[in-house]
């Protein structure tokens, strides 16, 4: 039997900006609440991700394309109540910031910039909804991670930094200055690709070289020239400085400069040299790049063109980059030899497979026979298994799909910071009760447009039902869904070890005779501390598995309301 994943919706390629992903604006808002589910137009709310200063963020399934999106719901009164700012003040205006963010995001289409797909603004409604690309991994480095001095290995920082550079080069080529570059605004997908987000401080110019006067952004990442009284500065060099500060932070797990208060921070940034922690060795090429990006004088600071040719970034020209403004139609910014084969930088420059190394962590081998259940959903997890040979089925309960705190799994803690400022660690469901009240009926169909909308929902629920039932048939039981299979070189049970509850999120059943190595939580932690890249590899594996379970959870929700959607259409009048 083929892996369930191969024949599932999960096997579809990740949505990337292109002709099929056109931004749209919608002025009609329909909300239906039924059987504990909420539909916002064609979007099924899967779960609450978090709350931010300007609203709430939800994970949603678009029933039209059956893909997951992040939806930011902003109360208009919260934006308007802060207007206008006091005369002469530099306080950010939330309404203007949001308008600017929408204006920029709807025009910027790049693989390393978070895509804004739709804005829903009903003139009669109280909320403004932004539907954006869902970035499973959240920020590449959260505030909580910085507090723990977590950092990235140089090779991984290079991979992320190349994505960031390509996005910033594209922005500058389109006369956009980001204005608030920091690790929290660099988001990671389950694929390991990173993208820039949060354009509330961004500016668009006629030439891109105009002078700015107002100072926005995050103090720790502001360029020195922005900190002087009555300053006037150019935006592009400040973005280069901020990106250098981001790179420094990723590498060392700390910001380049710190001080007890804002006044002293401004003095330190303007006058003190950059220092490199001696306990974190970095290459000479990288130190040269950081020094040139963090140069105090903006006229002496490295420019984007030279930056994209730097030996560290291009690995001594083995992996060159081409500025976006020089691209011909269909060309990629990546110029390495693997591009012709459709390979990314990460694929063309593979890192060691540290999961293979886990097999040597333990000599405790266990053998299971076909049909044996070796892990059960909901049980406490104290170990993981490395599959040496054989195949296992991954099963989840149809009725009781796993409910996971947004901060439970590796990478999820920062996910809420995400797509628009939700607070990390927010409890699922907090502040969302009023949106999820139960009902057994749907809103009345009042015209042909609303009838067609309901027809589309019915078709989506039927498609979801067919898929869910196929997973049930593959499982061979009435209670379970077979969502994937794992084989030699893969892990099972690691998701529980990275969660706060330590509970198994799925049942694991042997599809054949299986030979495994048993690895305890203590052994895993020791291995990850000794091999920093391994931690990030395991994180990417967990994010992909989380995506599988989340998608099934969404499709089960959609399947469960199929009868109510069908009944509402049967009772609808003809138009």
Q: Give the pLDDT band (50/70/90) at residue 109.
A: very high
Which residues does residue 422 pair with via DSSP β-bridges, in sequence order? Answer: 52
User: Can you say whether the dihedral through the CA atoms of 303, 307, 308, 310 is positive or negative?
Assistant: positive
In a domain, 9, yes or no: no
With bands split at pLDDT 50, 70 and 90, how would you rate the model's confidence at 91? low
Q: Looking at the structure, tell me whether residues 71 and 199 fall in a common domain.
A: no
Which residues contact residue 484 at a Cβ distance below 8 angstroms, ignoring those fewer than 6 apart?
A: 3, 4, 5, 10, 393, 394, 545, 548
Kindly indicate the confidence band of residue 443, based on its pLDDT and cuts at 50, 70 and 90: confident
**What are the tens digits of pLDDT across the range 110-165?**
999 999 999 999 988 888 999 999 999 999 998 888 888 999 999 999 999 999 99
Confidence tier at 76 by pLDDT (50, 70, 90): confident
Give the count of beta carbons closer than 10 Å to the beta carbon of residue 434. Answer: 6
CA distance 507 to 397: 8
176-177 vs 186-188, strand pairing mode:
unpaired
Domain boundary, last residue among 115, 133, 151: 133
Let me know whether 316 and 452 are in one domain: no
Q: Strands (DSSP E) along 494-558, which ranges?
A: 507-510, 514-520
98 plus 158 within the same structural domain: no
CA-CA distance, 573 to 575, in Å (whole number)? 7
Q: Which residue has the tokens 């990671």?
A: 188
Catalytic residue among 32, 169, 180, 480: 180
Same domain? For 401 and 547 the reply is: yes
Q: Which of 354, 352, 417 is nearest to 146 (CA)?
A: 417
**55 & 99 share domain:** yes
Question: What is the average pLDDT across 274-285?
Answer: 93
- Of the candidates 271, 224, 277, 235, the residue with the CA atom closest to the CA atom of residue 255: 277
Give yes or no: residues 405 and 297 share one domain: no
- Domain assignment present for 432: no
Distance CA(370)–CA(572), nearest Å, equals 51
Between CA 429 and CA 433, with CA 432 as vertex, the angle to 5 degrees is: 95
Q: What is the CATH number of the domain that holds 122?
A: 3.30.200.20
Strands 116-121 and 24-26: parallel
pLDDT tens digit string along 251-277?
Answer: 999 999 999 999 999 999 999 999 999
For residues 187 and 114, what is the distance between their CA atoms, to the nearest angstrom? 8
Spatial neighbors of 557 by CB under 8 A, at least 6 apart, are: 37, 44, 46, 61
Cα 118 to Cα 65: distance, rounded to the nearest angstrom: 13
Secondary structure letter of residue 78 according to DSSP: H
Residue 16, in any domain of the structure: no
Give the rounded distance of the alpha carbon of 135 from its chain centre. Answer: 2
Percent of the chain at pLDDT > 90 equals: 52
Residues 6+ apart with CB under 8 A from 202: 100, 101, 104, 171, 176, 177, 178, 179, 180
The alpha-carbon radius of gyration of the chain (Å, integer) is: 25
Q: Measuring CA to CA, how many Å separate 423 from each of 51, 52, 68, 122, 220?
A: 5, 5, 20, 26, 19
Give tens-digit pLDDT for 150-164: 999 999 999 999 999
With respect to residue 506, please indicate whether it lies within any of the assigned structural domains.
yes
Is residue 12 domain-resident?
A: no
- The CATH number covering residue 360 comes to 2.60.120.10
Q: Are residues 150 and 102 in the same domain?
A: no
pLDDT at 198 over 50: yes
Instruction: Return the structure tokens found at 149.
Output: 């001095």
CA atoms within 13 A on the CB side of 520: 5
Contact criterion met (CB below 8 Å) for 68 and 134: yes
> Same structural domain for residues 255 and 328?
yes
Q: How many domains does the chain have?
A: 3
Q: b/e map of 313-325 (b: 16 or more CB within 10 Å)?
A: bbbeeebebbbbe
Domain boundary among 133, 150, 184: 133
Quick one: 43 and 177 in the same domain? Answer: no
Residues 6+ positions from 120 with CB-CB distance below 8 Å: 25, 26, 27, 28, 29, 40, 41, 128, 129, 131
In a domain, 5, yes or no: no
Q: Does the residue 383 lie in any domain?
A: yes
- Interval 553-574 mean pLDDT: 88
**Domain match, 341 and 361 both:** no
CATH number of the domain to which 194 belongs = 1.10.510.10
Q: Give the residue ranges of DSSP H helices in 191-280.
A: 235-252, 262-271
Per the listing, tokens 């779960």 go with: 47
Contact 101, 204 (CB under 8 A): no
C-alpha to C-alpha distance for 391 and 400, rounded to whole angstroms = 25
473 pLDDT higher than 80: yes
Residues 193 and 257 in one domain: yes
Q: Domain limits at 236?
A: 138-348
The arithmetic mean of pLDDT across residues 331-336, rounded, is 84
Quote the pTM value: 0.86
- Judge whether residue 426 has pLDDT over 80: no
H or E stretch at 415: helix 415-418
Angle between helices 521-530 and 532-560 (to 10 degrees): 130
Distance, in Å, from the CA atom of 305 to the CA atom of 291, rounded to the nearest integer, reads 17
Residue 180 bears catalytic tag: yes
The C-alpha atoms of residue 399 and residue 481 are separated, in whole angstroms, by 10
- Cα(205)–Cα(172) distance, rounded to whole angstroms? 10
* The total number of residues written for the chain in this structure: 575
* 272: in domain: yes
CB 267 within 8 A of CB 257: no
The domain boundary residue, chosen from 99, 133, 167: 133
Same domain, 371 and 339: no
Is the model more confident about 350 or about 72? 72
Report CA-CA distances (Å) from 273 to 256, 291, 303, 310, 507: 10, 9, 20, 22, 55
Residue 399's pLDDT is 67
> Three-class SS of residue 436?
coil
Helical (H) or strand (E) element with 460: helix 448-475
Contacts of 490 by beta carbon, 8 Å cutoff, 6+ apart: 355, 386, 387
Q: pLDDT higher for 384 or 417?
A: 384
Tell me: pLDDT of 330 over 70: yes
pLDDT band at 429 (very low <50, low <70, confident <90, very high): very low
């Amino acid at each position: 039997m083929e892996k369930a994943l191969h024949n599932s919706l999960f096997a579809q390629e990740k949505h990337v900006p292109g002709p099929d992903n056109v931004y749209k604006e919608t002025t009609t808002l329909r909300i239906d609440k039924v059987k504990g589910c909420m539909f916002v137009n064609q979007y099924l709310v899967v779960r609450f991700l978090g709350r931010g200063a300007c609203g709430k963020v939800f994970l949603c399934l678009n029933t039209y394309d059956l893909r997951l999106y992040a939806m930011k719901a902003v109360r208009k009164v919260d934006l308007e109540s802060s207007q206008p700012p006091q005369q002469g003040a530099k306080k950010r205006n939330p309404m203007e910031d949001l308008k600017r963010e929408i204006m920029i995001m709807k025009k910027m289409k790049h693989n390393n910039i978070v895509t804004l797909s739709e804005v829903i603004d009903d003139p009669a409604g109280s909320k403004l909804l932004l539907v954006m690309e869902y970035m499973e991994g959240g920020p590449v480095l959260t505030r909580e991670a910085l507090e723990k001095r977590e950092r990235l290995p140089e090779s991984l920082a290079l991979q992320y930094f190349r994505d960031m550079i390509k996005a910033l080069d594209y922005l500058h080529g389109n006369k956009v200055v980001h204005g608030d570059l920091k690790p929290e605004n660099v988001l990671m997908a389950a694929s390991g690709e990173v993208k820039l987000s949060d354009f509330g401080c961004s500016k668009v110019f006629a030439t891109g070289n105009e002078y700015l006067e107002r100072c926005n952004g995050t103090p720790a990442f502001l360029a020195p020239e922005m900190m002087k009284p009555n300053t006037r500065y150019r935006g592009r060099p400040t973005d280069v400085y901020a990106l250098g500060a981001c790179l420094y932070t990723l590498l060392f797990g700390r910001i380049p400069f710190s001080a007890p208060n804002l006044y002293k921070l401004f003095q330190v940034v303007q006058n003190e040299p950059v220092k490199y922690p001696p306990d974190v060795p970095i290459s000479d090429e990288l130190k040269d790049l950081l020094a040139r990006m963090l140069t105090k004088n903006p006229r002496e600071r490295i420019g984007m063109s030279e930056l994209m040719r730097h030996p560290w970034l291009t690995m001594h020209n083995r992996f060159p980059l081409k500025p976006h403004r020089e691209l011909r139609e269909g060309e990629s910014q990546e110029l390495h030899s693997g591009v012709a084969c459709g390979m990314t930088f990460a694929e063309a420059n593979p890192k060691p497979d540290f999961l293979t190394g886990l097999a040597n962590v333990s000599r405790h081998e266990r053998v299971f026979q076909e049909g044996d259940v070796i892990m059960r959903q909901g049980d406490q997890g104290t170990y993981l298994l490395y599959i040496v040979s054989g195949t296992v089925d991954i099963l989840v309960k149809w009725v009781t799909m796993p409910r996971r705190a947004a901060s439970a799994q590796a990478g999820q803690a920062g996910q809420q910071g995400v797509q628009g400022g939700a607070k990390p660690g927010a409890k699922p469901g907090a502040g969302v009760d009023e949106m999820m009240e139960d009902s057994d009926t749907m809103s009345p169909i009042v015209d042909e447009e609303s009838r067609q909308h309901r027809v589309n929902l019915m078709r989506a629920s039927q498609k979801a039902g067919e898929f869910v039932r196929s997973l049930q048939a593959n499982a061979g039981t009435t209670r379970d869904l077979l969502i994937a299979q794992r084989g030699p070189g893969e892990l099972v049970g690691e998701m529980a070890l990275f969660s706060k509850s330590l509970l198994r999120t799925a049942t694991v059943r042997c599809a054949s005779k299986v030979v495994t190595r048993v690895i305890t939580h203590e052994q895993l932690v020791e291995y990850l501390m000794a091999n920093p890249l391994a931690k990030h590899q395991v994180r990417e594996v967990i994010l992909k598995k989380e995506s599988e379970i989340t998608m099934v959870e969404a499709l089960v929700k959609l399947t469960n309301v199929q009868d109510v959607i069908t009944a509402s259409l049967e009772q609808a009048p003809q138009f």
